[in-house]
């Protein structure tokens, strides 16, 4: 086995490859190799600077560590989607090609049977086969789902080089045989609820969690809870939610008559804040009639 050497690792895999017949699979393989070649050419990486391994429905590229990873990532974000659209525009519905891709770096050795060996390569392959990337491709509207390793994000993505927008990458955790693996997904994270995300942002800025909300979570009802679509609001700093029954309160500002409190739910007559009528009641519990400041009972 050769000594491990530093390489850039690029992986492509075809979605639903095994669902196609032999003729379609042969066509898809040709299209995949063409797309990979044109992507690498756009990044300025010639055949003399890379080695390819055939994996049937996938290709693996080991690229010279001196080749620009930034240029390759930029090509993956721009050239690869263009190539996919061009191929699919001319293909039948049964021959559409959609790809998962992983860009990583690490040390790889080649054994006596020309096999590739290295834990960094194993890591990249598990990112490619992980549920996160598979689900991301199923849910996205385009034809490519791209994930980069933690090292690529730290060394390239986060610096915001031309053509690479750091805000378009989201951190994800992928389950692996040896424990969870951190990576960065380009585009939306599958299954991330927009309501929950919006609430998390709001809570971080307003401190809503201090008023009975769950820190960083979705507001009650936004995650499909049994309450349906509750109305909510604030009064004098108190947060309250109505669910078609007795109101419940986060906070403690409740003015005037309050009784029947149990488990955070308030029963009976509840007045939020002041009603504007602070006159004392008489012995029967009635307030003086309008126009009779002396408390008379005349009507």
pLDDT digits (tens, 9 = 90+) for 288-297: 444 444 444 4
If phi > 0 it is left, if psi is from -120 to 50 it is alpha, else beta; for residue 106 that is left
Cα distance between residue 149 and residue 289, in whole Å: 76
Rounded mean pLDDT, 255-270: 46
**Full-model pTM:** 0.65
* % of the chain at pLDDT higher than 70: 64
Per-residue burial over 45-78, b if 16 or more Cβ lie within 10 Å, else e, is beeeebebeeeebbbbbbbeeebbbbbbbbbbbe
Residue 153 phi, psi (nearest 5): -65, -45
For residue 79, pLDDT over 60 is answered with yes
Q: How many residues are given for the chain?
A: 299
Cα distance between residue 277 and residue 155, in whole Å: 66
Residue 224 confidence class, pLDDT cut points 50, 70, 90? very low
For residue 131, pLDDT over 50 is answered with yes
Query: 104 CB contacts (<8 Å, ≥6 apart)?
Result: 8, 9, 11, 120, 123, 124, 127, 148, 149, 151, 152
What is the sign of the dihedral through the CA atoms of 157, 159, 164 and 169?
positive
CB atoms within 10 A of CB 198: 13
Rounded mean pLDDT, 132-136: 97
Residue 112 confidence class, pLDDT cut points 50, 70, 90? confident
Q: Calculate the average pLDDT of the chain.
A: 77
Residue 193 confidence class, pLDDT cut points 50, 70, 90? low
What confidence score (pLDDT) does residue 211 get?
A: 34
What confidence score (pLDDT) does residue 191 get?
A: 82
What confidence score (pLDDT) does residue 277 get?
A: 52
- Is residue 116 within 8 Å of residue 53, measured between CB atoms? yes
Beta bridge partners of 52: 61
Structural domains of the chain ordered from first start: 5-186 (3.30.70.1230)
Residue 176 confidence class, pLDDT cut points 50, 70, 90? confident
Cα distance between residue 180 and residue 160, in whole Å: 27
């Amino acid at each position: 086995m050769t000594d491990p050497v530093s390489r850039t690792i690029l992986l492509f895999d075809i979605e639903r490859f095994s669902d196609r017949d032999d003729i379609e699979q042969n066509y898809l393989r040709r299209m995949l190799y063409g797309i990979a070649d044109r992507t690498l050419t756009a990044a300025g990486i010639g055949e003399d600077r890379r080695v390819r391994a055939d994996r049937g429905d996938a290709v693996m590229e080991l690229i010279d560590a001196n080749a620009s990873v930034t240029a390759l990532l930029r090509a993956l974000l721009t050239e690869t989607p263009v190539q996919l659209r061009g191929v699919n525009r001319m293909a039948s519905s049964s021959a559409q090609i959609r790809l998962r891709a992983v860009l990583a770096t690490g040390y790889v050795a080649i054994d006596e049977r020309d096999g590739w060996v290295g834990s960094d390569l194993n890591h990249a392959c598990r990112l490619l086969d992980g549920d996160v990337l598979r689900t991301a491709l199923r849910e996205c509207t385009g034809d490519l789902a791209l994930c980069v390793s933690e090292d690529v994000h730290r060394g390239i993505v986060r610096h915001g080089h031309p053509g690479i927008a750091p805000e378009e990458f989201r951190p994800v955790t992928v389950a692996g045989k040896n424990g969870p693996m951190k990576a960065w997904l380009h585009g939306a994270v599958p299954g991330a609820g927009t309501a929950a995300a919006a609430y998390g942002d709001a809570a971080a800025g307003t401190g809503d969690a201090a008023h009975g909300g769950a820190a960083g979570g979705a507001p009650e009802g936004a995650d499909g809870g049994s309450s349906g679509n509750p109305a909510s609001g604030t009064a004098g700093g108190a947060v309250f939610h109505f669910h078609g029954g007795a109101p419940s309160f986060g906070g403690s500002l409740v003015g005037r008559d309050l009784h029947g409190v149990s488990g955070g739910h308030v029963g009976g007559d509840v007045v939020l804040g002041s009603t504007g009528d602070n006159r004392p009641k008489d012995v029967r519990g009635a307030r003086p009639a309008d126009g009779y400041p002396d408390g008379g009972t005349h009507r």
